[in-house]
Structure 1
Amino acid sequence: MPTDRDQWPRSVRRDRLWELAAAQRGYFTAAQAVQVGYSHQAQRFHAQRGNWRRVDRGLYRLREFSVLPGEEHDSHVRWWLWSKGQAVVSHVSALAVHDLGVANPAEIHLTVAPGFRRRDERVVLHRAELRPEEVEGREGFRVTTPLRAIVESAADAVDQDMIDSAVAELLDRGEATRGQLAQAAQRLGSRAELSVERALRAKGT
């Protein structure tokens, strides 16, 4: 059944889609396209014409963004939309976002709620209930804070060198104290505690 949005001039629909997608590095979902006036038939047309690049089922990217030089964290926006806004970039992927230490993950790590059901072999999913203060927003996606990223990576038993370098840089930046690191690690268990303790000793005074 036609809606008022279907009657919007093409220029209005285009402007609304551009405004939405520009805040998401050019990505948008089929549902978002419907919200700004593009029927599913219109979506198929634009995908077939090459105006939109189909990234995944129900997920597109504007052609203009596909040919521009990519931003470092473009893929994080893509997976945030895939998760319908539920996933948070975390663990070593979050360390890389915050430019902490030597983290350079080959896979994208995301934290989702225990009841999250979607899966994809291209991402590593961690299940946890994150507190609001453990998450911060970026353009088009969310990421765990530097403090949380370190302790959750430590709990995940990543290489000690990675934790050592991340802890040293966090302290040098003045973004957390030794006490805050120790306390945050304690909440995630003995493995995180031991790894962070070793990193603090390696850092020295």
Structure 2
Amino acid sequence: MSEDGAESRAALWRTAAGQRGYFTAAQAVDAGYSHQAQHYHARHGNWLVIDRALYRFREFSELPDEGDEQLVRWSLWSKGRAVVSHTTALAAHDLGTANPARIHLTVPRRFRQKSDAVILHRAELPQSEVEDRMGYRVTTPLRAITECAAAGEDQDILDGAVSEALERGMVTRRRLLHAAQLLGARAELGVERALGAMS
């Protein structure tokens, strides 16, 4: 490998390392890989092709799965504009029994991309309701619970999430009720029922 090639690989590796080994075609270009070079690496199996213009270094796929790698993939798919939310956020926080079949993402109102693998919710989220993880962003436990209540999520899932979040000190009853009130009557009712189930 030439010195330039080694520098390009090192630069791309640094970017991918913070994204569980995933990287976009645009990030590869920024690191110094032409589109022709990208096709070469994909064709020869050096890079795994995950989706259109989305790759992963093979070495990362051989590491033990931490369970949230796919969330990094969808963050890159959205060009960093999506936030993992709703029941997917509950699962990311290990709250309750949520195990959604499709990924829930909250995106800006003007977001135009689509995929059958994800359910998109449109909202402008303040930074105070979002946490940064390695390679993706996720709504806070407080926001995840209340947005699930507002969406009419299964009450058993809400009950478990509220109980565990309170037990682990992630939320307080007062903040939970206040946040639910801000999202409307349906959110408030779901949270009140979950709190009542603990009595």
Whether TM exceeds 0.5 here: the answer is yes
Per mean C-alpha deviation after superposition, the further-off stretch among 10-19 and 42-51 is 10-19
Amino acid at match of 1:190: A
d(CA) in 2 for partners of 1:187 and 1:118?
28
- In the other structure, the counterpart of 2:154 is 159
Aligned residues: 198
5 Å-filtered alignment, 1:16-31, equals 16-31=11-26
Equivalent residue in structure 2 for 1:119, among 64, 89, 114: 114
- Alpha-carbon distance in 2 for matches of 1:8, 1:194: 62
Q: What is the RMSD computed on CA atoms of the aligned residues?
A: 1.1
Match of 2:98 in 1: 103
**What pairs up with 1:49-198 in 2 under 5 angstroms?**
49-198=44-193
> Aligned equivalents of 1:20 and 1:194: distance in 2?
44
User: What CA distance in whole angstroms lies between the structure 2 residues aligned with 1:172 and 1:63?
Assistant: 40
Question: Within 2, Cα distance between the matches of 1:19 and 1:151?
Answer: 36
The answer to whether 1:41 aligns with 2:66 is: no
SS in 1 for 2:67: coil
8 A Cα contact 1:171 1:177, kept in partner: yes
- Secondary structure of 1:109's counterpart equals strand
Shift of 1:78: 0.2
Structure-2 change in CA distance of 1:21 and 1:104 (3 Å): same
Q: TM-score, normalised on structure 2?
A: 0.97
Give the match's secondary structure for 1:143: strand
Indicate the percent of aligned positions where both proteins have the same amino acid. Answer: 62
Deviations 1:115-160 (A, max 9, x none): 1000000000000111110001000000000000000011111110
User: What stretches of structure 2 of length at least 5 have no aligned partner?
Assistant: none
The secondary structure found in structure 2 opposite 1:9 is helix
| Bigger Cα displacement from structure 2, 66-75 vs 25-34 | 66-75
Could you say which residue in structure 2 is the equivalent of 1:3? none
**Deviations 1:149-183 (Å, cap 9, x if unpaired)?**
00001111111011011111111112221110001
SS of the residue corresponding to residue 170 of structure 2 reads: coil
Q: Which runs of 5+ in 1 are unaligned?
A: 1-6
Q: Which amino acid aligns with 2:73?
A: R
Letter in 1 for 2:86: H
- Quick check: 1:8–1:37 contact (8 Å CA) kept in 2? no
For normalisation by structure 1, the TM-score amounts to: 0.94
- Distance in 2, matches of 1:68 and 1:99, equals 22
Tell me by how many angstroms 1:64 deviates: 1.1
Q: Do the aligned partners of 1:185 and 1:192 also contact (CA within 8 Å) in 2? A: yes
Shift of residue 66, structure 1, vs aligned partner: 2.1
